[in-house]
Amino acid sequence: MGKVEGGMKCVKYLLFVFNFIFWLMGSLVLAVGLWLRLDPNTVSLLGEGGPETFFI
């Protein structure tokens, strides 16, 4: 492959930045979900006896 020039260089870096942001947000959602699932204080919310509707 040849050298990336001009606008394509900008597109390349924008794609990298947005992919990194989406990866970071996905990792954050996964971490929060695991934390809620494994935390002794919130495990009852996600178990069989938990509420069927969650209110925020």
Amino acid at 41: N
Q: Is the model's pLDDT at 2 over the cut of 90?
A: no
Task: In whole angstroms, give the CA distance from residue 1 to residue 45.
Answer: 53
Average pLDDT of the residues of the chain: 84
2 sits in the region (left: phi over 0; alpha: psi -120 to 50; else beta) called beta
pTM beyond 0.75, yes or no: no
What integer pLDDT is reported at residue 39 of this predicted model? 87
Task: In whole angstroms, give the CA distance from residue 34 to residue 27.
Answer: 10
Instruction: Give me 14's structure tokens.
Output: 């924008």
Q: What is the pLDDT of residues 29-55, one digit of tens each?
A: 999 989 988 888 877 776 666 666 666
